[in-house]
Amino acid sequence: MENNVFLIATHNMKKRDELYRILSPLGIDVKTAEQAGIEISDVDETGETFYENAFLKANSGCLESGMPCVADDSGLAVDYLVGAPGVFSARFAGEHGNDAKNNQKLLKILSDVPVEERTAKFVSVVCCVFPNGDVISARGECKGYIGFEPKGDGGFGYDPIFMVGDKSFAELSGEEKDALSHRGNALRQIAEKLKDYMSL
């Protein structure tokens, strides 16, 4: 069938690298908009859930390109904050915030919260929309806790303060992170589903 090249709908370069790094070796041929030689619009992430936002992005990319399109929405759910910042993870410190400010705000809120109450999880929902309207999605989670200070230089977002064992996500190599991470988990699931779908 013709559905063998997938567009990746994200403007976050580091996220795009993760999607590419995990999907490519699984035989899923993925292209960024630049690689496909097209332009796709920014999508307002107005959804109340990760699924809604992932669908909005994948659907818009599919409609604009005519290609099957895969998108991810992900975030950090802190138990002490009953799931916040969640879908607002990137905007936690406000519209003019950034990764460092988001991390600082969260560390401040948790400043005297003991380690056993600092549990959190990263969540990723990956969604693929096909030109015929079919939708395939998968959800991955990674449990950890919020550290007391940023550690490591890798990754992005909350990686420097998200701890699994005694290491932060920013201290892991790309391969170590893919093996553990919410996004790696969701992407491996969707790769399996896509292979089934494409062999139908």
* C-beta separation of 82 from 145 below 8 A: no
**Element spanning 141, H or E:** strand 135-146
DSSP-derived pairing of the beta strands 162-164 and 135-146: antiparallel
The minimum distance between CB 123 and its own copies, in angstroms, equals: 11
Is 73 tagged catalytic?
yes
DSSP conformational letter for 66: S
Residues 109-128 that bind its own copies (CB under 8 A): 109
Among 31, 91, 167, 193, binds its own copies (CB under 8 A): 91
Taking the alpha carbons at both ends of the chain, their separation in whole angstroms is 9
User: For its own copies, which is the closer residue by CB, 27 or 94?
Assistant: 94
Which residue among 60, 68, 73, 85 contacts its own copies (CB under 8 A)?
A: 85
Nearest to 119 by CA among 148, 156, 78, 88: 78
Among residues 17, 44, 72, 73, the one annotated as catalytic is 73
Catalytic residues: 73
Q: Which positions touch its own copies (CB under 8 A)?
A: 48-49, 81-86, 88, 91-92, 109
